[in-house]
């Protein structure tokens, strides 16, 4: 049975963030994730987790300036020190929140900078971050993002991410496999999951097109989630989707397909 976690950056947007914890608990969730906690006091967030008997399983490293178009710092040769400071910031939050997985967004291609130069910076930054997290007994993840939604994103296929993992050679560096992104970039989802499962540290799901809940698009999630059970996947499945309508109604597929929270 998949261990579903609610992504509070996408779900329960009917509520302010503090109330999303309670809404997730009331819906039956035991696990949550969300993207960036850094605008909030970590002690307050930890208190919300405790009050609602929730476990947080994932955060991302600080992305840079989202409003200016940043989506990660890890491949930027001019921001290495900023990236490394961000690892310390993420670790401090992870300790307070009890989070064991931290996802690294690679950032975007930079005009005028050769691809190989950016890749070398990314490898060294992943090596640095994985070492810092390993000393604290935490996993580092690297996530490919599709180039239809983010045309300049640096890592955009599972093969790219696996090549980085092999270059870094860190035992705590894994692939964050987002089914929505990989459907848009690669398809062949079942074979991909079978091939890469030993390297996967976290899975996120949403349907395509629209990035809504399973059952609203072309991906056969009922088969795919059963396949994860057949493959004995023991990790979490993050529901990183935009609900059509209210979030609670968007969860009907879980019970209808024989799953549970």
Catalytic residues: 143, 240
**How would you class 157 by CB atoms within 10 Å of its CB: exposed for 0-12, middle for 13-18, buried for 19 or more?**
middle
Query: Can you read off the two tokens belonging to residue 200?
Result: 């996967």
| Cβ neighbours of residue 59 closer than 8 Å, sequence gap 6 or more | 33, 34, 35, 36, 37, 90, 93, 94, 97, 99, 101, 102, 103
Using CA atoms of 128, 205, 5, 129 in order, give the dihedral in degrees to the nearest 10: 0
What would the two tokens of residue 242 be? 């935009």
- Alpha-carbon distance of 21 to 6, in angstroms, equals 9
DSSP code, position 153: B
Q: Helices in 52-199 by DSSP H: which ranges?
A: 80-97, 115-135, 158-168, 179-185, 189-196
Neighbours of 107 (CB within 10 A): 25
Q: Which two tokens stand for residue 55?
A: 């476990």
130 alpha-carbon distance from chain centroid: 16
Chain centroid, CA 4 distance in Å: 13
């Amino acid at each position: 049975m998949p261990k579903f976690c609610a992504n509070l950056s996408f779900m329960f947007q009917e509520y302010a963030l503090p109330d999303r914890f309670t809404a997730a608990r009331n819906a039956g969730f035991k696990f949550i994730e969300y993207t960036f906690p850094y605008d909030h006091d970590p002690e307050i967030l930890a208190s919300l987790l405790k009050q609602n008997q929730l476990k947080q399983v994932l955060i991302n490293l600080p992305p840079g300036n989202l409003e200016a178009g940043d989506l990660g710092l890890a491949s930027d040769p001019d921001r290495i020190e900023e990236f490394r400071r961000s690892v310390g910031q993420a670790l401090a939050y992870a300790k307070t929140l009890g989070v064991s997985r931290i996802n690294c967004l690679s950032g975007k291609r930079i005009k005028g900078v050769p691809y190989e130069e950016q890749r070398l910076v990314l490898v060294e930054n992943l090596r640095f971050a994985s070492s810092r997290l390993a000393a604290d007994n935490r996993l580092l993840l690297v996530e490919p993002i599709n180039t239809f939604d983010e045309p300049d994103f640096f890592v955009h296929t599972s093969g790219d991410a696996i090549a980085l993992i092999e270059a870094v050679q860190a035992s705590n560096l894994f692939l964050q496999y987002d089914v929505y992104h990989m459907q848009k970039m690669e398809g062949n989802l079942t074979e991909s999951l079978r091939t890469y499962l030993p390297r996967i540290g976290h899975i996120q799901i949403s349907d395509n097109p629209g990035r809504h809940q399973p059952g609203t698009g072309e991906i056969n999630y009922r088969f795919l989630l059963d396949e994860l059970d057949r493959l004995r996947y023991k990790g979490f499945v993050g529901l990183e989707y935009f609900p059509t309508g209210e979030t609670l109604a968007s969860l009907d597929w879980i019970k209808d397909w024989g799953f549970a929270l």
